[in-house]
């Protein structure tokens, strides 16, 4: 069995989206006379949003932390929730740091004492903050997904182009996985033959968030206007274990896109990377529903989406929030994968794990090659490397935009769909073998969860055509096309002081 060497990695890192460099960078940290950085050359970092994911980032910049990133120091924190702000302040103080505190990110970005910002607020704030930070001359690490909707993601990409003196990187951390680069190098070598299709699986337990009546109160200390930002200002209508504001926004269209844009974006990004698919697909079709319980949430907990490109194999993406069978928390496994990506080729298949390891099998199921190891914070180290070298090698914003948009497109077909009987769903899935297989497996999964598809009908979406240049959708039925194009997941421009600037004519450059 072949072992994976550093040389292979270097070769692999020149493959596909990982190879592009951003030209024209001038700012240098830590050089004599350099324009940026603290007196000792440390990069001065501000963190925005650190209830959960952002808190992990925050710890990366605290002296004495096990995950400390070298050459960077925390100088500012920003959160709209007083309690979260206090948690960040305490952590910084304990590490011997005094940090500037902000509730309004715009004030933080105006500070001359910050070089780079890490953005980990909810999804609906990602694009607007990325653009504002770049306009203010900051380097940006923005958490995945890049956007709440396709249009604003394109504006963020355009901002990265326009303000290319700054670094902009997206936190799809698998892009820094040497193991995935190895697996892709193997695929490209042709050892397994051509790719026939790629399946992304996001089987992750998502329980009911409870059912509540009417608007719920916002906890004291949260500036809800700032929290809402470019979304529609409306009271929260959820009150799960995490309260009325934090985290469960994922399951509401005003802020998130369900698990496909939450966990799924990671696997979507890897799937598109494996395929070598350039830009958006030519068509997308989805079906699914929120099955097994009734609660406040809006997004489907079960979704299958089929995407086709003219020049590459199809991509099938499956989201499952229910367990293996009714009452079980353990999740289904598809070809050794619960959360992962499987690329089926002519002579075998490759399985990419959630944490970045990969194994190639022959069609007889025998292991051919393993790319072992897991993510040890490589992406965050690469972010610091990008800041110093002024080159983004892993996590280009435009790649993030396309992968994020795939999630939006999958949701848009679902949202333009209608409840249909199972027999009509079978017809809609068509004759594509991989799509049919996903359909049958999904039916089995729902049956095991005692979901009665006659009582709770699946939503079956239309096949939408996608124009890769305008990033708009079409369908023979104008009503369907208009519904998809006018949906906020396709385009939302923001609200009042949180209006997203239009930097591109929405026409993709490539």
Summarize as ranges the residues that interact with ligand NAD (CB under 6 A). 48-49, 51-54, 78-81, 84, 105, 120-123, 125, 143-144, 171, 173, 226-227, 229, 246-247, 262
- Residue nearest to ligand NAD as judged by C-beta position: 49
Q: Which is nearer to ligand NAD, 30 or 501 (CB)?
A: 501
CB of 50 to ligand NAD, least distance (A): 6
Question: Could you identify the residue written with the tokens 């697996």?
Answer: 183
Task: Specify the pairing of strand 459-460 against strand 283-289.
Answer: antiparallel
Helix (H, G, I), strand (E, B) or coil at 308: strand
**Cα–Cα dist 72/119, whole Å:** 16
- 266, 267, 268, 274: CA torsion to nearest 10: 120
CB 248, min distance to ligand NAD, A = 8
- Output 122 or 340, the one with its CB closest to ligand NAD: 122
Could you tell me the smallest distance in angstroms from the CB atom of residue 251 to ligand NAD? Answer: 12
Q: Shortest approach of ligand NAD to residue 266 CB, angstroms? A: 7
Q: Least distance in Å: CB of 78 to ligand NAD? A: 5
Closer of 280 and 339 to ligand NAD (Cβ):
339
By beta-carbon proximity to ligand NAD, the closer residue of 285 and 339 is 339
Structural contact between residues 372 and 179, judged by C-beta atoms closer than 8 angstroms: yes
Tokens 């998809």 map to which residue?
A: 484
Rounded to a whole number of angstroms, the minimum distance from the CB of residue 165 to ligand NAD is: 24
Calpha distance 449→431 (Å, rounded)? 26
- 306: left (phi > 0), else alpha (psi -120 to 50), else beta? beta
Alpha carbons within 13 A on the beta-carbon side of 345: 23
Q: Which is nearer to ligand NAD, 2 or 83 (CB)?
A: 83
Encoding tokens for residue 276?
């070598």
Furthest CA-CA distance within the chain: 71
Give the CA dihedral 493, 129, 148, 103, nearest 10 degrees: -100
Nearer to ligand NAD, 238 or 246 (CB): 246
Task: Report CA torsion sign: 161, 167, 169, 175.
Answer: positive
Residue pointed to by tokens 């409840």: 419
What is the nearest approach in angstroms of ligand NAD to the Cβ of residue 142? 9
Residue in the block written with tokens 């208009």: 482
Q: Any residues with CB less than 8 A from the CB of 171 and at least 6 apart, and which?
A: 120, 141, 142, 143, 144, 379, 395
* Distance from C-alpha of 395 to C-alpha of 21, rounded to nearest angstrom: 11
Nearer to ligand NAD, 123 or 351 (CB): 123
Measured CA to CA, the distance from residue 412 to residue 463 in angstroms comes to 10
Please say which residue, 54 or 258, places its beta carbon nearer to ligand NAD.
54
Which is closer to ligand NAD, CB of 14 or CB of 52? 52
Q: Considering the complex, what minimum distance in angstroms separates the CB of residue 222 from ligand NAD?
A: 6
Q: Pick the closer one to ligand NAD by CB: 9 or 224.
A: 224
Residue with tokens 């907990």: 301
Q: Smallest distance from the beta carbon of 52 to ligand NAD, in angstroms?
A: 3
Is residue 147 within 8 A of residue 153, CB to CB? The reply is yes
Q: Tell the smallest beta-carbon distance from residue 343 to ligand NAD (Å).
A: 22
In this structure, how many other beta carbons lie within 10 angstroms of the beta carbon of residue 414?
A: 28
């Amino acid at each position: 069995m072949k072992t994976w060497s550093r040389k292979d990695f270097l070769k692999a890192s020149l493959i596909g989206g990982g190879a592009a460099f951003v030209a024209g960078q001038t700012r240098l940290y830590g050089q004599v006379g350099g324009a940026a950085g603290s007196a000792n050359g440390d990069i001065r970092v501000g963190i925005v949003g650190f209830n959960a994911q952002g808190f992990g980032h925050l710890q990366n910049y605290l002296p004495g932390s096990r995950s400390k990133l070298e050459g960077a120091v925390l100088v500012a924190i920003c959160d709209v929730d007083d309690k979260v702000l206090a948690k960040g302040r305490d952590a910084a103080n304990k590490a011997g740091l005094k940090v500037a505190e902000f509730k309004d990110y715009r004030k933080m970005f105006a500070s001359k004492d910050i070089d780079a910002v890490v953005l980990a607020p909810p999804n609906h704030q990602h694009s607007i903050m990325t653009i504002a930070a770049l306009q203010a001359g900051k380097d940006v690490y923005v958490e995945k997904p890049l956007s709440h909707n396709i249009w604003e993601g394109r504006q963020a990409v355009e901002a990265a182009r326009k303000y290319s003196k700054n670094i902009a990187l997206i936190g799809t951390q698998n892009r820094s996985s040497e193991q995935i680069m190895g697996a892709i190098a193997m695929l490209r070598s042709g050892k397994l033959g051509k790719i026939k299709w790629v399946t992304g699986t996001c089987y992750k337990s998502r329980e009911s968030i409870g059912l509540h009546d009417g608007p719920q109160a916002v906890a004291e200390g949260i500036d809800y206007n700032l929290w809402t930002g470019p979304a529609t200002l409306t009271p929260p209508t959820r009150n799960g274990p995490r309260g009325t504001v934090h985290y469960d926004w994922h399951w509401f269209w005003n802020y998130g896109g369900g698990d496909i844009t939450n966990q799924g974006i990671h696997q979507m990004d890897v799937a598109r990377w494996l395929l070598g698919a350039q830009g958006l697909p030519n068509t997308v079709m989805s079906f699914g529903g929120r099955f097994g319980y009734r609660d406040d949430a809006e997004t489907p907990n079960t979704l299958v989406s089929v995407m086709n490109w003219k020049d590459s194999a199809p991509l099938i993406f499956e989201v499952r929030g229910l367990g293996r069978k009714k009452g079980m928390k353990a999740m289904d496994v598809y070809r050794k994968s619960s959360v992962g990506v499987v690329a089926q080729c002519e002579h075998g298949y490759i399985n990419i794990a959630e944490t970045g390891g990969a194994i190639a099998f022959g069609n007889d199921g025998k292991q051919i090659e393993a790319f072992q190891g897991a993510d040890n914070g490589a992406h965050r180290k690469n972010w610091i490397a990008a800041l110093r070298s002024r080159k983004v090698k892993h996590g280009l914003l435009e790649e993030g935009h396309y992968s994020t948009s795939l999630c939006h497109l999958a949701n848009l077909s679902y949202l333009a769909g209608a409840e249909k009987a199972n027999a009509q769903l079978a017809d809609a899935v068509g004759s594509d073998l991989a799509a049919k297989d996903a359909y049958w497996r999904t039916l089995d999964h729902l049956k095991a969860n005692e979901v009665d598809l006659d009582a709770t009908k699946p939503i079956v979406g239309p096949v939408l055509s996608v124009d890769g240049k305008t990033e708009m959708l079409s369908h023979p039925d104008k009503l369907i096309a208009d519904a998809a194009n006018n949906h906020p997941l396709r385009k939302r421009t923001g609200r009042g002081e949180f209006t997203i600037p239009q930097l591109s004519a929405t026409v993709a450059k490539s």
